[in-house]
Amino acid sequence: MAKQLDYFVHHVFFWLKRPVTREIRIKFENGLKELVKIETIVGKHLGIPASTDRGVIDSSYSYSLLLTFNSKEDQDIYQTHPVHLKFIDECEDLWERVVVYDSIRF
């Protein structure tokens, strides 16, 4: 049986503006790689849509960022961290849409 985790989960989906060039992908991916260095992050996954095809799957996004934190307070630190603010400042012109799902264990 899988172990249940008590982490605060922060899942972000990004839709990049079209056309998505190689240069845009490199800039965005480099921004994500810097972003996940913030010290309050305890787990991370940087992703793109998987090649799965079922009716319930939305694979229309460009990138996925999944972060885990030990607490909401650690996630609050992340939100105002200079590296996070720099990522937004340098990359927000690259995306047209962002959707965030935060969750905690019930």
Say how far apart CA 52 and CA 33 lie, in whole Å. 25
Query: Token match 């799965």: residue?
Result: 52
- Inform me whether the pLDDT recorded for 3 exceeds 90: no
Residue that wins the pLDDT comparison between 2 and 23: 23
**pLDDT tens across 41-89, in order?**
999 999 999 999 999 999 999 999 999 999 999 999 999 999 999 999 9
Comparing 3-7, 18-22, 75-79, which segment has the lowest mean pLDDT? 3-7
CA distances from 65 to 1, 2, 37 (A): 26, 22, 13
Residue-range domains of the chain with CATH: 9-64+95-106 (3.30.70.100)
pLDDT of residue 13: 98
Confidence of residue 6 (pLDDT cuts 50, 70, 90): confident
Contacts of 88 (CB under 8 A, 6+ apart): none
